[in-house]
Amino acid sequence: MGCSQSVDAAAAADTRVSQAIEEELKRARREEAMETKCLLLGPGESGKSTIVKQMRLVYSSPYTTAELLSFRETIFSNLLQSAQSLLSSFSALKIRLPADVKEETRWLREVDETEEVVDPETGGLRSEAAQALGRLWEAEGTKEAMRRSAEFQLNDSAEYFFTHLARIASPSYLPTEEDVLRTRVRSIGVVEQTFEVLKGRKLRVVDVGGQRSERKKWVHQFENIGMLLYALSCPSFPEQPRPTLIVGRRFVVAVSEYNQTLFEDSRQNRLDESLELWEMISASRWFRRSTFVLFLNKTDIFERKILSGFAPLAASVPNYRGPPSNVAAAKSYMLDTFTALYKQHTPERALFAHFTQATDKVSTQVVLGAVMTGVLTSTLQEMGLL
């Protein structure tokens, strides 16, 4: 009798343990289902990190004063890099600077470290550095170089920071959120951040470097991807006509950054690189169950180029038959190009595509809200959780 009770008690204990384990597994599965892993991919300088900064502002907390102050040196560095790029371009572009401006800005060429332009007492920009940067920006030759900036490597933020130089040069300068969004730091390695994008539903964003040397790290992040967000810069077809080339399933047509080349390879057009990456990702077996989101970024720069008349789309992309200087037609052509390539590999899978200006807080918030609500709701419905 006692033995039977002992066996029954042991069996009951085992049952309780099994039930507890099962409940824990169910809880873990529910939590896992409420978190979507989003892999953020794209070529270098496409604006991926800016999108992550916007996610932080939309779904987390604003930057603290200490965090804003920490961006000052990055902004000074961006200004210095842009100044050095401009100064180096004058010779190649056959642009002459006035002798006094050339002399006053000569030392900027030789600065190796950002610390050399920072006042050690205030942490702000040294007055002589601010003066030299101002003289460079006001020089007539600089206007010509800026118009031809596609012919050399120049940060997209150059004009913005030079325009705000007086404010940035103030000893009490505190960067704004827009200043932070405009900063450019090359992404290296893998950075993860988690945001609660809908009530109880989290998005774990994995941002990996876009330059070629960083892409070998991508494959290690390819497992269990619920959402893939591909960012590319929209204003980049070449100024000179490029032949239309169809090789298998690849259209080599200038679409993104159409008049710029890679930072790491001056022979490769950035749009061609974007299309090749897009094809690789669209066809990858790793993402057959993933939701795809395409951000055609930097539309503000793209629109200025189209409207300027200096780089007509038809002159660079022979297949384009739309009207010149027509932004709507040019954007439609670009979207159709990427969509067609995507559908060749995955004709039944949906694509969430948006034109974006990642540095604009209001418009990006609207796009992010629409994407997150639509994509995550769709994903949860497929999993039977809604």
pLDDT on residue 295: 87
pLDDT on residue 297: 86
CATH code assigned to 39-62+188-372: 3.40.50.300
- Distance CA(124)–CA(72), nearest Å, equals 8
Q: Residues marked as binding for Mg(2+)?
A: 49, 187
Q: Residues marked as binding?
A: 45-50, 156-157, 187, 207-211, 297-300, 358
pLDDT on residue 286: 75
- Which DSSP category does 261 fall into? B
| Residue pair 20/208 in contact by the 8 Å Cβ criterion | no
pLDDT on residue 143: 92
Q: Which helix (H) or strand (E) holds 40?
A: strand 35-41
pLDDT on residue 239: 43
- The mean predicted confidence, pLDDT, of the chain is 78
Q: Is 184 a catalytic residue?
A: yes
pLDDT on residue 133: 96
| Residue pair 96/142 in contact by the 8 Å Cβ criterion | no
> Judging by DSSP bridges, how do beta strands 190-198 and 35-41 pair with one another?
unpaired
What is the widest separation between alpha-carbon atoms in the chain?
A: 109
Question: From residue 131, how far is each of 103, 140, 163 by CA, in Å?
Answer: 13, 16, 13
pLDDT in tens, 26-61: 665 555 566 777 888 777 677 888 888 988 998 888
Q: Residues marked as binding for GTP?
A: 45-50, 156-157, 207-211, 297-300, 358
- Distance CA(218)–CA(257), nearest Å, equals 22
Where in the chain is CATH 1.10.400.10? 72-174
Residue 31, number of CB atoms within 10 A of its CB: 11
pLDDT on residue 250: 23
Low-confidence ranges of the chain (pLDDT < 50): 210, 213-215, 220-221, 238-256
Residue 227, number of CB atoms within 10 A of its CB: 24
pLDDT on residue 25: 63
pLDDT on residue 248: 24
- Distance CA(34)–CA(36), nearest Å, equals 7
Q: Which of 184, 201, 242, 270 is catalytic?
A: 184
DSSP bridge partners of 138: none
Q: Tell which residue, 116, 182, 129, has the closest CA to residue 155.
A: 182
CATH value of 72-174 in 3.10.180.10, 1.20.210.10, 1.10.400.10, 1.50.10.10: 1.10.400.10
Q: Which of 36, 50, 261, 356 is catalytic?
A: 50
Q: Is 360 a catalytic residue?
A: no
Where in the chain is CATH 3.40.50.300? 39-62+188-372
Q: Is 337 a catalytic residue?
A: no
Q: HSE, CB side, 13 Å, CA atoms: give it for residue 273.
A: 30
pLDDT on residue 376: 61
